[in-house]
Structure 1
Amino acid sequence: MSAPAHEEDDLAPTTTPGYKPSAAKTVDEYANLDAEDESLARWKASLGIVPGASEAPASGPKVTVLSLELASPTLPPGKRLLMNLQNEQELASIKKNPVTIKEGVDFNVRINFKVNHSIISGVRYIQVVKRSGIKVDKMEQMLGSYGPHPKGEPYSKDFDTEESPSGMMARTGTYNVRSRVFDDDGEVYADWEWCFKIGKEW
């Protein structure tokens, strides 16, 4: 799905002058780098980076974004606000049916993803929030560095805690969100739209 030029500008990441991403390496190449450094070896092992660990062919996307979740300690027991990004019907539904976020509470965005091959770094999540077509917020978060999980299990990343707006004005209208996950090379792993509203209760 291509976006108008002004929307692409909104989704542009923050850049650091002079920064150039390093050339991509395979899991085995990373595993054999500085092999004599024990502390580095332990860190790489925690990412699943060990010699011979890469059995899957390096094809297809490096990252599969599975779901996005809004997490909060104020959510009622058993309630979960989870968007399954692998379900086309659910994606179409969340674009039309706003998620309700309780006013004045702490919450955070949690992203669940799977690393298919290679080592990821420089992968980030950006969301732009608009109300009545006017940008009111932009969040940019790095996922961190990960290798394919040895057991093929997904990873979860909790982003910084935010406080939802409150008051009658905040409860009026719908907030439209554009979310994107991509890397330093410009490869987009997920790009979707959803919306939320502010309510007195979840």
Structure 2
Amino acid sequence: MPEHDDDLVASRTEGFRVGEKKTINEYAELDKHDESLNRWKASLGLNTGNPIGDPNDPRKCIIKSLALEVEGRSDVVIDLSAPGAVDTLKDKPFTIKEGSTFRIKVVFQVHHEVLSGLKYLQVVKRKGLRVSKDEEMLGSYAPNTSDKPMYEKKFNAEEAPSGIIARGHYNAVSKFLDDDEHTHLQFEWSFDISKDW
């Protein structure tokens, strides 16, 4: 998807530097004699000494699904974990009613190490022209443990554009990346703004 590379660049905060990367074992050893810190690390699963996640799956962040939530309606869920699901999204647009208020919800897992500064970037185009660029900071996460197998994050609420000019077909590109500029998932999808559902 090289035609979107310039659009999908995260904003930078002047003077911000990513902290030193540590392994799970390094976190477990850090201040290991501090009892309250050890309890906190245990709650995050950082001091088990066991690998967290499938050792045969090298991914650090696995995006399971995106959902469009609209009050009073069933969620529109995009399953991103099914084989080939990402490849067909742009050919299966979903409908958003003009002027409706909605929010996006993402469900994901973190494996192997602490994930620092997960962000969601989205560029929406209509007829080849960019109409919006959004960036949502999701935060930093410890690897999932068996008692917390998934993370869920709801984005800020948005309002769909309305009016005859706003109605029509839109193409979007979304990307999940972290503070290390590692892209965990990038995909194209589409939607239609319509007068009704």
Given the alignment of the two structures, is residue 155 of structure 1 paired with residue 154 of structure 2, yes or no?
A: no
Aligned-residue offset at 1:51? 4.0
Classify 1:55/1:47 alpha carbon distance in 2 versus 1 (closer, same or farther; 3 Å): closer
Contiguous gaps of at least 5 residues in structure 1 = none
Aligned-residue offset at 1:89? 4.1
Alignment-derived partner of residue 70 in structure 2 = 72
Counterparts of 1:1-202 in structure 2, within 5 Å, are 2-4=1-3, 7-35=4-32, 36=34, 38=36, 40-56=37-53, 57=55, 60-75=58-73, 79-151=74-146, 153-171=149-167, 173-202=168-197
Give per-residue Cα distances to partners, 1:99-140, cap 9 Å, x unaligned. 101221211111111111100111111011111111111111
Q: Check the 8 A contact 1:70/1:110 in 2, yes or no.
A: yes
Give per-residue Cα distances to partners, 1:38-93, cap 9 Å, x unaligned. 2x445444433234253555971211111111112132xxx331111123443333
Aligned-residue offset at 1:26? 1.6
**Distance in 2 (alpha carbons) for counterparts of 1:136 and 1:54:** 43
**Distance in 2 (alpha carbons) for counterparts of 1:136 and 1:201:** 21
Classify 1:55/1:138 alpha carbon distance in 2 versus 1 (closer, same or farther; 3 Å): closer
Structure 2 SS opposite 1:95: helix
**Distance in 1 (alpha carbons) for counterparts of 2:40 and 2:194:** 44
Classify 1:64/1:55 alpha carbon distance in 2 versus 1 (closer, same or farther; 3 Å): closer
Equivalences, count: 194
CA RMSD of aligned residues (A): 2.2
Contiguous gaps of at least 5 residues in structure 2 = none
**Distance in 2 (alpha carbons) for counterparts of 1:51 and 1:155:** 20
Q: Check the 8 A contact 1:74/1:105 in 2, yes or no.
A: no
**Distance in 1 (alpha carbons) for counterparts of 2:87 and 2:51:** 35
TM-score by length of 1: 0.85
**Distance in 2 (alpha carbons) for counterparts of 1:54 and 1:80:** 34
